[in-house]
Structure 1
Amino acid sequence: MQKHEDRLLREEEKLDQEMTLFSVKMTQTDDNGPQNNIKNIHEEQDLPYQHVTDKHEMSVSEDVTVFKQDSEEDYADHKLPEGGNVHAKVSENETSEKAVADWEDDYLWYLWNTFSIISMIRFFRKYLRKNSQMKQDEARTLPMTGIAGEVPLPDSDTLQSFHSKYVKVSPNMKWREDEFLEGFANHMVEAMRTVCDRNGGMVIDDWQMLDACEIIVPFAPPEPFSFQCLLWNNKVGGLLPDMPVCGQIKVVENKKIQNGCPCLSSDMDDDMVCLLHCENEKRKTKTTDVCDGLLCLKNTSFLSKTQVTRWFQSTIKQAWALISHKYEFELSICHIGAPGALVVRFRSGKKVIFTMKPVVKFRDAHFYITPCSPNSLDTFWTLSLTIYEDHLLQCLSKRLPENSCHIQTLEIARFLHKRQTALSGSSALKDFHFKTALMHLLLTRDPSLWKPDYVACRVRDLLDFMERSLEKKLLHHVFIGNPLTKNIIHLPVEFTQANPVNLFHPLVVHNCIYRNALMHFQEMLRNAHMLIHDYVGKSI
């Protein structure tokens, strides 16, 4: 509207200037007298519009000066006896032109407002239509309550046969694979220690196999340096889907406090014996942060996941170069973003895929690197409580009936999830979510319900629990802030006194992640019956 008012003001100024030009022509006199003026006025009236426009483009200051001079001369020396008629005609033309100009301006103004109103109406209609379409799509995507309870699963005997033939790994195959990985991991870790000793880098501790094809390799800085773990509870979980519980790892230096005794000197001879301090007496130390320490983020004292990934991959390559002549297969890194994602390729074409993860020990838990994490979270490490979880399952198994079906239930659900991932791709729903759901059921259900012939009911219970958790976007961590586990296993105080952690918190923060996980789970439920019967039908 402001632009429109400015344009109207400019049009009014234009009309005033045109009136000034007509007045100048009317008042100018020459030797021929008033008749020539009248003739000139008629000639001016007969000129086309373009001629008036060209005169309008003359300098405004020049027109004003001429108008003043001629006006004074006209009023002093000239009076037109018949000028009244001339002025009347000119006034009528001017009034008519002004009326036409005003009508054009009003027309343009109404046209502009009409166009603006129509545009606003179209915009709101388009917005409302799009919003309605999004709500309809969301309504079609959201699950109906009780879908998991209506999945037509086979009976318990069929599920047990399905599990033993297609889900459970053959003991002989598992033993051969584990034996190979154990021997290879021993050689690799020893070679990596040799490389680190040469470079004066990190110290590699004893490795440990947590699960099938998953090996963790703890590391620590050389003395007098050490790691200090800072646990973060529910603070950045929404920023990274695979980081519900995380922490930062600070590199610190443990400096001995000198009290004047030579025995505390770092260059003291080993053969020297101090009569003032016994060997078992603790020496006082002072801990200070190490800025720009080994593998730390620049200008900080926090361990960088990017730096550790590069160091670990380089160490693996150097260690393999030392021992590769002993083996008749190829070793390569299959994921550049994961520090220890390895694949062994035999000459026969067989492949063994496994991981060797660099981890930092924290009590009986450990921090590890989540692949493809944002650069802004380069110093935040994911906390794994796998060792505590396995210990909890062992304790709960002692309460269950003989040959209980809880492991079968978990492995069948994981198998369905794995097959659905192969069909539709990965989602935020992971294996540890099903494991967490199972542990919640074991903590809250009667132990007698886990008899071997109840496997069909328990699989349905597990799927129903996951469905309700997805609907609520709520799945609590089984240890952190959960009082039910305090009396079963011993946990560090950092976990028992912490606030409960929602493993589905990323689904609350990011709706796109939630919709993807929801669609993934829905498709898994729809395909479960068909998938199981296809496998069972092959064995008939």
Structure 2
Amino acid sequence: MQAGIFKVCLVVVTAIVNHPLLFPNNKTAVPANDDLIVEKLREREENLKKEQLELERLLSGQKEPAEDNPKTESKEPEGGSGWDLWSTVSMVIFLMIEVWRQDYKDNNSQEQSKEEDDLLFIGNNCHGVSLPNKPMLTIFHDQYIRASTHDAVRSREFVEGFADDLLEALRSVCNRDTDMEVEDSICIGSMYENWRVNRPLICDLLVPFAPPEPYHFRCHPWVSDPSIGPDKQNYGTIQVCGPDDGPSNCVCDRKRLGEDMLCLLHNPINNKKVTKDLNLLCLRNTNYLDIDQVMKWFQTAVTKAWGKISHKYEFELTFSHLDSPGALRVKFKSGKVISFNISPVVQYEDTDLYFISHFPSTPRGVSSSIYWMLSFAVYERRFLKDFAKKLPENSCHLSCLQIMTFLHSKQCHITGPSGLTTYHLKTILMHLLLRRPYSDWGAVMLEERLRDMFKSLEKSLLEKKLYHFMVGNGKLPETVNLPEHFREAEPVNIFRSFVLNRDLYQKTLSMFYEMLKNATVVINEYSLHLPNGHSNKMH
């Protein structure tokens, strides 16, 4: 009996020591001695079966000798039965351990296989994909991209002139004492960086707005806030602050005025009206600026402004998207259409950083209506403009980006949109500009630099890591004049969504390799059908 209990205790201790959760095997491979253990267990099982058969034979066929010598026989069956009982218990425990271990190993291997699925396409890397050769790329660039660039210049000139007129009308229909103050528009994006080729040619403009005095906006960017998750570091909030929330900079010093004196700046009647209007733009029961309310206000203001000047123009102005009130569409009597985006933004202090609801070409990234996205578009345009002065004449850097965005657009039409955007492609180019010498960007290096961009994008996709070009980039030139607070911040991974969303990542990776595979065919087809730089496919 004591021996049996000792055996059970020994088995339990062995089970605990060998349990995979206590000492996990990181390699998830079967240890070398596992096969030996399993073989011994099988031998033990066979021996137990033989002993059980022998015991049954003795109990059924040899009862009489047991009566002749009851003392001796009683000990043997008792001992044999005890041995058989404890052996069976031991066997069951060992089998349970083995089944448990196998289940754990299978589950662990399944988890590992899921991670390996992320690299499902790693064998189809761009080193083995033939991109269009240099002559074909040159033909395509001359016939398609240059023709689109010429059209872009005329579209920009029209949009800038019309936007100025529309905003001036908007100011005239607003009450200067109680309504928002709207500033001049700021041109940003691919159309003003000279690399947009996809139709329609859309101009993007930012329109800063601010509350009337003595109210002001207080912006809180989350770039370097350790309490904010990595998926929200490119966002922030905007508080609406009144005269009592900070220094008013008023020379009258309200607290020392007599009863018969009135400060026009702090007129309680006007302040009451301003407070009511500002509350309508905030999230209910808070002083945080609400994106949805701001969009409603801006759409109403644009509608009133157009009503005042529409008689001067012989075209129709409509909203392109209901969820983007600044997305406008001009349609001439000839049928020609010009689209552009006017996005209301809030300036961050005295910098060229702006808080925007979302970029018109991409959906809103977060669910809350008080989370505003930081836009570095002005700094990015400044970087590309200043860097181009150091590159060889007719450098190929924008041509690479144009070809890449063209292929991306055509592939999205085939397979549908994914998590990859033109902003990611632009980020890849800007990082590559800082890594390669200026002389590597000559016009004759178009094919090599285009391949470099594809390789860099593939590496970033496989690693699920692409850092924001501005935030935390110590290599950023001083001429960009980015505030030190953002230059010294921790880098922000703009591919973070691929870490959080496995399905989106698989779809994006699949789309990328399809784009690579179809690159030569697509460019050859467009080049052959564009002998004079014109094609119906462009429209």
Give TM-score, length-normalised by structure 1.
Answer: 0.66
Name the residue aligned to 2:322: 336
* Alignment partner, residue 307 of structure 2: 321
1 CA distance for matches of 2:467 and 2:366? 27
Q: Contact 1:328/1:346 (CA < 8 Å) preserved in 2?
A: yes
Give the counterpart letter for 1:507 in structure 2: F
AA aligned to 2:208 is P
* Greater Cα offset, 158-167 or 195-204: 195-204
Change beyond 3 A, Cα 1:529–1:376: closer
Write the distance in 2 (CA, Å) between the matches of 1:269 and 1:320.
32
SS in 2 for 1:524: helix
CA change 1:197–1:142 in 2 (3 A) is farther
Match for 2:178: what amino acid? Answer: G
Q: Mark the CA change 1:180 to 1:486 in structure 2 (over 3 Å): closer, same or farther.
A: closer
Which residue in the other structure is 1:201 paired with? 179
Matched, 1:297 2:283: yes
Alignment of 1:118-267 (within 5 A): 139=117, 142-145=120-123, 147-197=125-175, 200-211=178-189, 212=191, 213-233=203-223, 245-255=234-244, 256=248, 258=253, 267=262
The AA in structure 2 aligned to 1:229 is: C
Tell me, yes or no, if the aligned pair for 1:229 and 1:249 is still in contact at 8 Å.
yes
Is the contact between residue 178 and residue 277 of structure 2 (CA under 8 Å) also seen in structure 1? no
Please name the residue that 1:96 is paired with: none
Residue 440 of structure 1 aligns with which residue? 431
Query: Could you say which residue in structure 2 is the equivalent of 1:25?
Result: none
In structure 2, do the counterparts of structure 1 residues 383 and 520 end up closer, same or farther at CA, with 3 Å as the change threshold? same
Match of 2:337 in 1: 351
Report the residue type matching 1:182 in the other structure: E
Letter in 1 for 2:500: V
Give the distance between the partners of 1:188 and 1:297, measured in 2 at CA. Answer: 28
Question: What's the secondary structure of 2:205's corresponding residue?
Answer: strand
**For residue 421 of structure 1, what is the amino acid of its counterpart?**
C
1:101-120 residue pairs with structure 2 within 5 A?
none
Q: Which amino acid aligns with 2:352?
A: D
> Are the structure 2 counterparts of residues 269 and 374 from structure 1 closer, same or farther at C-alpha, using a change threshold of 3 Å?
closer
SS at match of 1:161: helix
The answer to whether the Cα contact below 8 Å between 1:404 and 1:451 also exists between their aligned partners in 2 is yes
Distance 1:237 1:435, change over 3 A: farther
CA distance in 2, matches of 1:224, 1:539: 59
Question: Of residues 473, 494, 497 in structure 2, which corresponds to 1:503?
Answer: 494
Equivalenced residue count is 394
1:223 alignment partner AA: E
Q: Which moved more, 1:522-531 or 1:252-261?
A: 252-261
Residue among 460, 474, 478 paired with 2:465: 474
**Partner amino acid for 2:145?**
V
CA gap of 1:394–1:305, structure 2 versus 1, over 3 A, is same
- Residue 115 of structure 1: aligned partner: none
**1:458 is matched with which residue?**
449
- Give, in angstroms, the shift of residue 488 of structure 1: 4.7
Matches within 5 A, 1:497-536: 497-536=488-527
1:287-346: CA deviations, max 9, x gaps?
xx9997351111111110010111111111111111222222221112111121111122
Residue identity matched to 1:181 = V
Structure 1 residue 236: Cα displacement: 6.0
Helix, strand or coil for the counterpart of 1:233?
coil
Structure 1 pair 269/485, CA: closer, same or farther in 2 (3 Å)? closer
Partner SS state of residue 307, structure 1? helix
CA distance in 2, matches of 1:161, 1:222: 55
Q: Deviations over 1:376-435 (max 9, x none)?
A: 421111111011112112232233222211111111111111111222222221111111
Indicate if the aligned counterparts of 1:291 and 1:300 stay in contact, CA closer than 8 A.
Answer: no
Cα deviation, 1:101-148, whole Å, max 9, x if unaligned, reads: xxxxxxxxxxxxxxxxxxxx9xx99xx89x979958974973225622
Change (3 A) 1:267 1:349: same
Structure 2, unpaired ranges of 5+: 1-98, 192-202, 266-274, 532-539
- Give the counterpart of 2:483 among 468, 473, 492: 492
Are the aligned partners of 1:252 and 1:290 in contact in 2 as well (CA < 8 Å)? no
Query: Is this contact kept in 2: 1:244–1:503, CA < 8 A?
Result: no
Residue 155 of structure 2 aligns to which amino acid in structure 1? Answer: E
- Deviation of 1:520 after TM superposition, in Å, equals 1.8
Residue of structure 1 aligned with 2:355, choices 362, 367, 377: 367
Checking the alignment, whether the CA contact within 8 Å between 1:237 and 1:506 is kept in structure 2 is no
Shift of 1:249: 0.8
- Displacement, 1:497? 2.2
Look up the SS of the partner of 1:378 in the other structure: coil
- Aligned pairs for 1:87-106 within 5 A: none
Rounded Cα–Cα distance in structure 2 between residues aligned with 1:178 and 1:266: 52
Q: Which secondary structure state, in structure 2, belongs to the residue aligned with residue 495 of structure 1? A: helix
What secondary structure is seen at the aligned counterpart in 1 of 2:407? helix
Q: Is the 8 A contact 2:173 2:304 kept in 1?
A: yes
Q: Which amino acid aligns with 1:426?
A: P
| Residue matched to 2:57 | none
Superposed CA offset, 1:149-168 (max 9, x none): 22212232321221121123
Give the secondary-structure state (helix, strand or coil) at the position aligned to 1:293.
helix
2:241 is aligned with what amino acid?
A: V
What TM-score do you get using the length of structure 2 for normalisation? 0.66
Maintained 8 Å contact 1:253/1:290? no
2:379 aligned residue (383, 388, 396)? 388
- Between stretches 139-148 and 411-420, larger displacement belongs to 139-148
Give the match for residue 3 of structure 2. Answer: none
Identity among equivalent positions (%) equals 37
Alignment check: 8 A CA contact 1:410 1:435 kept: yes
Q: CA deviation at 1:268?
A: 5.2
Give me the whole-angstrom Cα distance separating, in 2, the residues matched to 1:268 and 1:308.
29
- The 1:198/1:478 distance shift into structure 2, 3 A limit, reads closer
Say if 2:288 is the partner of 1:310.
no
Q: Per the alignment, do residues 207 and 140 of structure 1 end up closer, same or farther by CA in structure 2, a change over 3 Å counting?
A: closer
1:244 touches 1:502 (CA, 8 Å); kept in 2?
no
Report if the CA contact (8 A) 2:474-2:488 is conserved. no
The whole-number CA distance in structure 2 between the counterparts of 1:171 and 1:151 is 29
CA spacing shift, 1:199–1:331, aligned 2, 3 Å: farther
Instruction: Indicate how the Cα distance of structure 1 residues 169 and 528 shifts in structure 2: closer, same or farther if over 3 A, else same.
Output: same
Relative distance call for 1:365 and 1:390 in structure 2 (3 A) is same
